[in-house]
Structure 1
Amino acid sequence: MKIIDRKTEIVNVAAKLFKEKGYSAVTMRDIAQAMDIKAASLYNHIKSKQEILVLIVIEIAEEFTSVMQDIVTSDTSTIQKIERVIQLHIDITLRNSDALACLNNDWMHLTDSELSYYIKMRNDYEQNFRSIIKEGIRNAEIQDVNVEVIIFSTLSTLRTLYLWYDKTKSLNEKILREDMAKVLLKGIV
Structure 2
Amino acid sequence: MKPTDRKTEIITIAAQLFKEKGYSAVTMRDMAQAMNIKAASLYNHIKSKQEILVLIIIEIAEEFTSTMLQIVNSDETTIQKLEKVIQLHIDITLRNPDALACLNNDWMHLADKELTYFIKMREEYEENFRTIIKQGIANHEIKNLNIEVIIFSTLSTLRTLYLWYGKKKSPNAEVLKSNMIEVLLNGII
Match of 1:124 in 2: 124
User: Would you say how many aligned residue pairs link Structure 1 and Structure 2?
Assistant: 186
Distance 2:173 2:117 in 1: 33
Against the structure 1 CA distance between its residues 35 and 63, is the aligned structure 2 distance closer, same or farther, given a 3 Å change threshold?
same
Distance 2:116 2:87 in 1: 27
* Residues 73-84 of structure 1 mapped to structure 2, 5 A cutoff: 73-84=73-84
Q: Structure 1 residues 165-174 or 98-107, which shifts more?
A: 165-174
Gaps of 5+ in 1: none
Distance 2:61 2:110 in 1: 13
Answer yes or no: is 1:6 the counterpart of 2:6. yes
Letter in 2 for 1:47: K
Match of 1:22 in 2: 22
Give the C-alpha shift of residue 170 in structure 1. Answer: 4.0
Q: Secondary structure at the match of 1:68?
A: helix
Letter in 1 for 2:18: F
Give the C-alpha shift of residue 169 in structure 1. Answer: 5.8
Q: Secondary structure at the match of 2:96?
A: helix
Match of 1:64 in 2: 64
* Residues 86-125 of structure 1 mapped to structure 2, 5 A cutoff: 86-125=86-125
Give the C-alpha shift of residue 167 in structure 1. Answer: 1.4
Against the structure 1 CA distance between its residues 162 and 169, is the aligned structure 2 distance closer, same or farther, given a 3 Å change threshold?
farther
Distance 1:48 1:64 in 2: 25
Give the C-alpha shift of residue 187 in structure 1. Answer: 0.4
Against the structure 1 CA distance between its residues 176 and 69, is the aligned structure 2 distance closer, same or farther, given a 3 Å change threshold?
same
Instruction: Give per-residue Cα distances to partners, 1:126-160, cap 9 Å, x unaligned.
Output: 00000000000000000000000000000000000
Q: Secondary structure at the match of 1:167?
A: coil
Give the C-alpha shift of residue 166 in structure 1. Answer: 2.9
Letter in 1 for 2:68: M
Instruction: Give per-residue Cα distances to partners, 1:97-134, cap 9 Å, x unaligned.
Output: 00000000000000111000000000000000000000
Against the structure 1 CA distance between its residues 156 and 114, is the aligned structure 2 distance closer, same or farther, given a 3 Å change threshold?
same
Letter in 2 for 1:182: E
TM-score, normalised relative to structure 1: 0.97
Letter in 2 for 1:100: L
Distance 2:33 2:188 in 1: 47
Give the C-alpha shift of residue 168 in structure 1. Answer: 3.8
Letter in 1 for 2:105: N
Distance 2:169 2:39 in 1: 33
Against the structure 1 CA distance between its residues 169 and 88, is the aligned structure 2 distance closer, same or farther, given a 3 Å change threshold?
farther
Identity %, equivalent residues: 76
Letter in 2 for 1:150: I
- Runs of 4+ aligned structure 1 residues displaced above 4 Å come to none
Answer yes or no: is 1:142 the counterpart of 2:142. yes
Distance 2:105 2:17 in 1: 12
Distance 1:52 1:124 in 2: 24
Distance 1:118 1:62 in 2: 9
